[in-house]
Amino acid sequence: MDSSLIAQGVDLLIYGMGTVFTFLTLLVGITSLMSSLVNRIADDEAEAMPEGSSPIASASVEPRIARVIQAAIDLHRGKKK
């Protein structure tokens, strides 16, 4: 026990804060890398699709189902008929 209790506390503080700082820096870097990768992939898929077509537009909903969905939305928003 050559070092004092304060010195041990400071050492623990430095190691702990260094570990947290390193982890958060890696987290931000990896998240940024993943975001740029996903954006690049999404741009490639958007360029590969023919103009005027979208995955949402190609999926049709039956009119009966659309009315049921609209009624549920109206009921949720408080526009009870």
For 6-52, how does the pLDDT look when each residue is reduced to its tens digit (9 = 90+)?
Answer: 999 999 999 999 999 999 999 999 999 999 999 988 887 767 766 65
> Tokens at residue 26, please?
């890696």
Rounded Cα distance between 34 and 28, Å, is 10
Q: How far is CA 36 from CA 29, 32, 45, 49, 57, in A?
A: 11, 6, 14, 20, 27
Provide the whole-model pTM.
0.50
In whole angstroms, how large is the CA radius of gyration of the chain?
27
Q: Report phi then psi at 40, rounded to 5.
A: -65, -40
